[in-house]
Amino acid sequence: MKKPYQLSATEASKKIQANQLSSEELLRSCIERIEEKESSTQAWVETNFKAAIDRARYLDRSANQGLLHGLPFGVKDLFDTHDFPTRYGSPIYENNRPNSDAVHVSLMRQAGGILLGKTVTTEFATFKGGKTRNPRNPEYTPGGSSSGSAAAVADEMIPLATGSQTAASVIRPAAFCGVVGYKPTYGKISLGGAKSLSPSLDTLGSFSRTVEDAASCVAVMSGDTELAKIDKLSKKPRIGTCLTYDGHLASADTVAAIAHAALLAEDLFKVSVPEIKLPAIFKKMSELQGRIMWSESARSFSFEQTNHAEELSQQLRGLIKQGAAISYEQYNADLIVAEQARMSIDQLLSQEIDVIIAPSAIGEAPHGHTSTGDPIFCRVWTLMGLPCITLPLFKGPNGMPVGVQLVARRGRDRLLLSVADALLKAREA
């Protein structure tokens, strides 16, 4: 029999609604797990157990408040919270205490969620590794920038956590830690109260153990409650694989994972899963994503660069300088090419294919903690604004998780979730 902390969000919610489990019992189980594992995993920046218990007791006396009623969750320390410091992974904001919640945090509380604490982010959601360790093996990186959220869910401390992605910061840590990471269509979740990195790319997302949990979490975060209803597929989905033009960088275990996922889809849906070749315009798209990101970041961090440069990491100072050197003419030209590519991929995903199976990362999580891993296999999809989800379907030669990413057309989140849910359940069967 599962202990309460081992339950998925969906399982726990059903038990709470059936009066088989109280919110307080679930929360205390999660707290005990945190106390047991936090010293090794180091997923949290700050917690408030007393306030969370008070909230759980209140919810146990209350009528159902929504999809997250009685469920504890963690919030990446990139998002404002009125009752916790929000440091953005930087000493510059050590004493920063916002007066209000980020929009999605407020919505999660409104839906009955219990904010247990703030999870570790890398410095301003960039590349400097934080203190968090991968719970599958602490010698390996958990990925970033949403490292604490991915690790906390993977270590069964909480069933749900929030994150953000500008390049690969939801998909990659989820893949490295072996959990479900879901980045919805760009713009689906309000960025209000989130520290900006690159406004045209920043997208909020979730970490969970199941696709159902991810759907419910993002349904609340976005206000799109219909998203929580995972549809039974009325017709066979058109599925293809794509390693992108960066496919030569994929490890052998990742290539094998994509092939196995294709076979799984063929068997499950009784369809052919061909290899998809992206239009030629995508050859330089990863490079273009980087230029757009760092050009916008140089402006986003203008205050920090002007007033607190000495408190920025050397790596981030270098990237800001690199971004500032990109001319506005180049930036604007890149935006135009990106929009042309979006129209091209929209056409492909409407006329030829419904869901693409692609790598989540180069391979297993890299050994060590100096790097959070290469974001190369997420750059293109993030730039396109497409909904993406990574599934913990396989393991690599070191016994670490190897995620498989599914990608769909903009706005086709429900289709993406339906296919992902079916594949994950088939794999677990």
Active site residue 76: yes
Secondary structure of residue 74 in the 3-state scheme: strand
Q: Give the pLDDT confidence of 346-372 residue by residue, as tens digits.
A: 999 999 999 999 999 999 999 999 899
The reported pLDDT for the residue numbered 42 is 98
Catalytic-role residue among 15, 37, 76, 128: 76
Instruction: Specify whether 169 is catalytic.
Output: yes
pTM of the full structure: 0.98
Among the options 146, 169, 286, 300, which is catalytic? 169
* pLDDT band at residue 1 using 50, 70 and 90 as cut-offs: confident
Considering Cα of 182, then 48, then 46, then 87, what sign does the dihedral take? positive
Q: Residue 128: what pLDDT? A: 85
Predicted pLDDT of residue 129:
85
Dihedral sign computed on CA atoms, order 163, 8, 155, 360: negative
Question: Percentage of residues in the chain with pLDDT exceeding 70?
Answer: 100
Q: What percent of the chain lies above the pLDDT cut of 90?
A: 97
Tell me the pLDDT tens digit for each residue of 283-293. Answer: 999 999 999 99
Those residues with Cβ within 8 angstroms of residue 116's Cβ, 6 or more apart along the chain or in another chain: 27, 30, 31, 34, 47, 48, 49, 52, 72, 73, 74, 158
Average pLDDT (186-193) is 98
pLDDT for 393 beyond 90? yes
pLDDT tens-place string over residues 10-65: 999 999 999 999 999 999 999 999 999 999 999 999 999 999 999 999 999 999 99
- Residue 266, pLDDT above cutoff 90: yes
pLDDT in the model for residue 231 = 83
- Which residue ranges form the domains of the chain, and what is each CATH number? 4-228 (3.90.1300.10), 239-428 (3.90.1300.10)
pLDDT digits (tens, 9 = 90+) for 63-75: 999 999 999 999 9
Give SS3 for 51: helix
Q: What is the mean pLDDT of residues 376-386?
A: 98
What is residue 372's predicted lDDT score, i.e. its pLDDT? 96
> Which residue in 13, 23, 29, 145 is the catalytic one?
145
Are the beta carbons of 364 and 398 closer than 8 angstroms? yes
Q: Strand pairing partners for 407?
A: 356, 388
For residue 178, pLDDT beyond 90: yes
pLDDT bin (cut points 50, 70, 90) of residue 186 is very high
State yes or no: pLDDT of 232 exceeds 90: no
Q: What is the DSSP string of 118-180?
A: EEP--GGGSSS--S---TT-TTB---SSSHHHHHHHHTTS-SEEEEEESSSTTHHHHHHHTSE
Is the pLDDT reported for residue 269 higher than 90? Answer: yes
- 193 pLDDT above the threshold of 90: yes
Least confident of 77-91, 220-234, 322-336: 220-234
d(CA 75, CA 315): 25
- The pLDDT mean for the chain works out to 97
Over residues 245-265, mean pLDDT: 98
- Report the alpha-carbon distance of residue 65 to residue 55 in Å, rounded: 12
Q: Please give the structure tokens belonging to residue 105.
A: 């945090």
Dump the DSSP string for 376-408: HHHHHHHHHT--EEEEEEEE-TTS-EEEEEEEE
pLDDT of residue 234: 86
